[in-house]
Amino acid sequence: MHEYSLVQAMFDQIRRVAHARGAIAVRRVRVKIGARAGVEPELFRTAYDVFRIKTICEDAPLEIEPASSDELTLEQVELEVP
């Protein structure tokens, strides 16, 4: 369940960035998850898929890459701006 809290916080961050840039959609989200970050990548993906329904991220695939650090990092958000 920890992953759901992390995804919710990530969505808050994505919404702020998208709003500031006047984006109409998010096209891709990429995160890096370190092996000792305390985050299960598949649970994180499941949480993302639940949270993105009917949001600006609805059509945005989530890319998860391994990180050399022990952190979870929002690495890239690809926006569609009119």
Q: pLDDT (tens digit, 9 = 90+) per residue, 28-37?
A: 999 999 999 9
The domain total for the chain is: 1
Helix (H) or strand (E) holding 81: none
Instruction: Give the domain range for residue 57.
Output: 2-80
Q: pLDDT (tens digit, 9 = 90+) per residue, 11-23?
A: 999 999 999 999 9
Residue 9: give its domain's CATH number: 3.30.2320.50
- Note the helical H segments in the chain: 2-21, 41-51
> Cα separations (Å) of 60 from 48, 55, 69, 79?
10, 10, 25, 9
Dihedral over Cα of 28, 29, 34, 38: its sign:
negative
